[in-house]
Amino acid sequence: MRRASLALALLLAAGAASAATPAEKDLFAGWRFRLAPGAAAGDAHPDAKDWQPATVPGAVQTDLLALKRIEDPFWRDNEGSLQWIGLADWDYHLDFDVDAAMLSRGHVDLVFDGLDTFADVSLNGKKVLSADNMFRQWRLPAKGALKQGRNTLDIRFASPVAKLLPWLMKQPYSLPGEFDTVFGDEPKGKQTSNYVRKSNYQYGWDWGPRYLTAGIWQPVRLQAWDDLRLADFHIAQDHVDADTASLHAQFDVRADKAGAAQLKVEWTAPDGTKGHEERSVSLAKGENHVAVPVSIAHPQRWWPVGYGDANLYRFHADVSANGAPVASADKDTGLRSVELRREKDQWGRGFAFVVNGVPIFAKGANLIPFDSFPTRVTTAKMEAILQSARDANMNMLRMWGGGTYQPDAFYAAADRMGIMVWQDFMYGGAITPYDKAFNENARIEAIEQVTRLRDHPSIVLWAGNNEVQTGWDDWPDRQDFRKFVNADEVKRIDDGMRELFGKTLRKVVADLSPQVPYWASSPSTDYEGPANVEGDGDFHYWKVWSGSEPIDHYLDMTPRFQSEYGLQSFPVMATIKAFAEPGDMQPESKVMRAHQKFANGDGNQRLLLYIRAGYGEPKDFPSFVYLSQVMQAEGIELAAEHLRSARPRSMGSLYWQLNDVWPGASWASVDYFNRWKALQFHAKRFYAPVAIVPIRRDGHSEVFAVSDRTTDFDATLRTRVYAMDGKLLRENSQPVKAAKLASTSVLKADDATLLKGADPKRTVVAFDLLEQGKPVASHLLYFGAAKDLALPKKPELTTTVRQAANGLVVTVTAKRLARAVWVGTGDLDVRLADNAFDLLPGESRDIVVAGNTDAATLRHALTVTSLVDALKETPP
């Protein structure tokens, strides 16, 4: 996690004319692990008491799985039978050799980039560390404890529940947390997760399982150096505009003695242009913070996707002493300015991201961890999920605060793709302790993470937490807690949170990454007023879904920036088959409830409530799955398009959520295997740079031309009225001017004007925005919920498959109107360029298919479904 491209163990030999060779030894291979002696789980799991090979970085669960000592944690309802692992203590052991050359160095540090979480470390039988934070690096001077030849490392990982629960049960109260366990290892209302710096989601969430990992989850190594160590190299962006980038190349140097040094910085622009700066400095004994000013004329700035190229500069740094190089480092970063603009206006106070002076409407989703077991997430998987976001025209992802800070490779990929990252600190909603030790632990964690990540141009916001303030102010269990605990203690708790999120973390960001704004909590007004209000700050809206309100209530709220809202669905059948047997294929089966974490499995009834309200009764389980995706996609589309149409009053739409930690029902639009749900295909359309958006309420419609382009353009609005059985009833066109970076109202009409006597249950209106005669955006408008429409019972869908220059192409054609067409490919590992769409009478859609298959295999696997195929009773 901390392993940047710095040559961290770079050496200066005392009095020597040339630099010594850096020395580093990875401690990955040869680890063994076992269930700690005396553990209660030993009787039921005797095999776990023996020493077994461990993978580092890794976790106990993934090692046990690799050794076939446990079943797949995601299969059926295995979750409950595997809880013993997170409730036990575990030992790790390593024998390793150290040679005389390494021990001859002035310093040898033992560096753990991440220990999960309560860990007592002994080196050659001597205790050297008690770790208590999953998100921190631990650097220990180890030379005095090492010996030439064979050495040993021993680590005892304590279960966070077993360690903290006895203490918590003696306390006068328990701080309000998030989700109570259903497995009985913690009493209701007695959650230990508040008191430890460990990923909240591993304690169980309403979209993922409860798996408390333990282990060496980040790299571990020895680093040797003599008189000087380059701890960090950073490009501080003091000011960046189109004319000049005024920068400081900052060096953090640890020196054993005072002396002169020479600093040199070379930079290479995206177009290959080069430059350099040099400076001589005097180093003091101890920690040194020194810098070289750098000025770049007419910088090639980094832009979010859709606004320009995601340009990256390469910076190379050298530190020399006595004429010899002693340290070097490389850094890739993008040059850009970021502002969180909060101007007062007629609607309250705005909340808009401004990059390089351009206001950006944020289009995207919330990102949760990629897996229940972080160490098995590959760079390729992270990049694939990011690519899915970019392919769906997203320009921002919010890294939610209940998971983990991601590895550098994730942010590097976001940098290259031009995807902005809203980065929460890792606090997921639980109320935090107010003691000074907790605050100091959190402060050091923040320093390390901001230092590690601050050169990534993709990060455009640091946010203190997820829902801590709004939960404290408004949630019923917090309100009950306030009544139970005396007023003085309530104030101490409140003051502690304000200190941590309003001051401590804010100061870390201001000191280390001042060019990126800080936001105290999501949602909030940055402690300048109440949290989660419509007219100021960011907003989480959950009355739809969590409150069971109708989907069209999304139109009732127009916040300044909607950073959470969502509807659930199931993944496609191929993904469901990865965790369930044929006998499990019912919404209320034990296994489906186990993979539905909302309301302890009752979320499937919530899904049915929304499906029945909008569409009708599913005829079987695959139809239930399909209809859940249709409902989710069309509901989120309504909300997202409403927000985009309200620009500049609203300047952001981040729906909950993009991805999954395991296969199951959730709010994700991309499932655990990166298979796109219907919502992801809809997002590709409703987040397109140019969109035509009809909003219908109470028998009246207003149509908006929404444009993210930075210049105005002339267009034509074409309106076509169709009978669903195929007849074109009316067509007309009108010129419109689509304003840049704006939503422009281009048509207002009531139902009577649009229909002109046609039956609203049998009629659809098609709006197209044409530029130079070609459609750049299209949208259909219906006059009622799908269940109330007289949809054609037989749309007569046909498909063909052909080989084209760009790969296989599937063509889908409808004789009559077809709602919610889904092209299925069975278990084939292929990706369709388009899916989950409506077809007008006589309309065809060409879909490019990517993946390793041939035309015959694809034809055999191909299925096509529309709404009327999935219902027990077709609409009247």
Q: How confident is the model at residue 10 (pLDDT cuts 50, 70, 90)?
A: very low
pLDDT given at position 23: 85
Q: Which residues, other chains included, contact 515 with Cβ-Cβ below 8 Å and sequence gap of 6+?
A: 236, 237, 238, 337, 338
Residue 239 in contact with residue 246, Cβ under 8 Å?
yes
Asked whether residue 686 carries a pLDDT value surpassing 70, the answer given is yes
φ, ψ of residue 382 to 5 degrees: the values are -60, -45
Q: What is the mean pLDDT of residues 841-854?
A: 96
pLDDT score of 2: 42
pLDDT at 640 over 80: yes
Q: What is the pLDDT of residues 468-487, one digit of tens each?
A: 999 999 999 999 999 999 99
Both tokens assigned to 157? 């990982």
Q: What is the DSSP string of 2-54?
A: ---S--TT----TT-SSPPPPEEEE--TT-EEEEPTT-GGGTT-GGGGS-EE-
Residue 364 in contact with residue 643, Cβ under 8 Å? Answer: no
Place 324 in a pLDDT band, splitting at 50, 70 and 90: confident
Residue in 780, 689, 695 with CA at minimum distance from that of residue 307: 689
pLDDT in tens, 753-778: 999 999 999 999 999 999 999 999 99
How many angstroms from the chain centroid is the CA of residue 431? 22
In this chain, the answer to whether the domains covering 31-221 and 688-784 adopt an identical fold is no
545: DSSP letter: T
Kindly report, residue by residue over 668-684, the tens digit of the pLDDT: 999 999 999 999 999 99
Of the candidates 634, 644, 633, 636, the residue with the CA atom closest to the CA atom of residue 676: 633
Q: Write out the E strands in 417-564.
A: 420-424, 459-463, 518-519, 539-540, 562-564
Instruction: Quick: pLDDT tens for 139-182.
Output: 999 999 999 999 999 999 999 999 999 999 999 999 999 999 99
The stretch 37-43 carries a mean pLDDT of: 93
Q: Are strands 149-158 and 818-824 parallel, antiparallel or unpaired?
A: unpaired
Q: Measure CA 262 to chain center.
A: 41
Q: How many CB atoms lie within 10 A of CB 29?
A: 10
The CATH H-level superfamily of 31-221 is Galactose-binding domain-like (2.60.120.260)
d(CA 576, CA 585): 9
Which fold would CATH assign to domain 688-784? Immunoglobulin-like (2.60.40)
The confidence band for 696, taking pLDDT boundaries of 50, 70 and 90, is very high
Tell me the domain boundaries of the chain: 31-221, 688-784, 791-876
Strands (E), 376-445: 396-399, 420-424
3-class secondary structure, 432: coil
Q: Residue 168: which of 148, 194, 147, 144 has the closest Cα? A: 194
- Which two structure tokens, joined as six digits, stand for 163? 């360690």
- DSSP classification of residue 528: S
pTM of the model: 0.96
Q: How far apart are CA 13 and CA 866, in angstroms?
A: 74
Q: E strand or H helix at 685, and its extent?
A: helix 678-686
Q: State how far the Cα of 197 lies from the Cα of 176, in Å rounded to an integer.
A: 16
pLDDT, average across residues 368-376 = 97
Query: Does the pLDDT of residue 610 top 80, yes or no?
Result: yes
Tell me the C-alpha to C-alpha distance, in Å, between residue 260 and each of 224, 227, 327, 329, 584: 22, 13, 14, 19, 72
Average pLDDT taken over every residue of the chain: 96
The mean per-residue pLDDT over the stretch 858-864 comes to: 97
Please answer whether residues 776 and 810 qualify as being in contact, where contact means their C-beta atoms are separated by less than 8 angstroms: no
pLDDT tens for 427-463 read: 999 999 999 999 999 999 999 999 999 999 999 999 9
Q: What is the pLDDT of residue 873?
A: 75
* Whole-number Å distance between alpha carbons of 833 and 127: 57
Helix pair angle (408-417, 379-391), 10° resolution = 30
Number of alpha helices (DSSP H) and beta strands (DSSP E) in the chain: 17, 46
Q: Would you say residue 13 has pLDDT above 80?
A: no
Angle, in degrees to the nearest 10, between helices 436-453 and 505-512: 30
pLDDT tens for 781-816 read 999 999 999 999 999 999 999 999 889 999 999 999
Q: Return the SS3 of 84.
A: helix
Cα(first)–Cα(last) distance of the chain, in Å? 58
| Over residues 548-572, mean pLDDT | 98
User: For residue 406, what is the DSSP state?
Assistant: P
CB 671 within 8 A of CB 655: no
Is CATH 2.60.40.10 the classification given to domain 791-876? yes
Whether residue 401 has pLDDT greater than 90 = yes
Between CA 326 and CA 335, with CA 329 as vertex, the angle to 5 degrees is: 145
Q: Whose CA is closest to 113, among 19, 10, 268, 220?
A: 220
Q: What is the C-alpha separation between 392 and 420, in angstroms, rounded? A: 14
| Rounded Cα–Cα distance for residues 217 and 63 (Å) | 12
DSSP string, 616-684: --BSSHHHHHHHHHHHHHHHHHHHHHHHHHTTTT--EEEES-S--SSSSSBS-SB-TT--B-HHHHHHH
The HSE-up count of residue 208 (CA atoms within 13 Å, CB side) is: 26
Q: What share of the chain is helix, strand, coil (3-state, %, to 5)?
A: 25, 35, 40
Tokens of 5: 């491209």
What band does 22 get if pLDDT is binned at 50, 70 and 90? low
Q: What is the pLDDT of residue 319?
A: 94
Indicate the pLDDT class of residue 874, thresholds 50, 70 and 90.
low
DSSP annotation string for 343-393: -EETTEE--EEEETTEEE-EEEEEE--S-SSGGG--HHHHHHHHHHHHHTT
Q: Are the CB atoms for 777 and 688 separated by under 8 Å?
A: yes
Residue 12 is predicted with a pLDDT of 32
Give the whole-angstrom CA distance, residue 450 versus residue 464.
12
Kindly state the DSSP code that residue 499 receives in the 8-state scheme.
Answer: I
Percent of the chain clearing pLDDT 70 (strictly above):
97
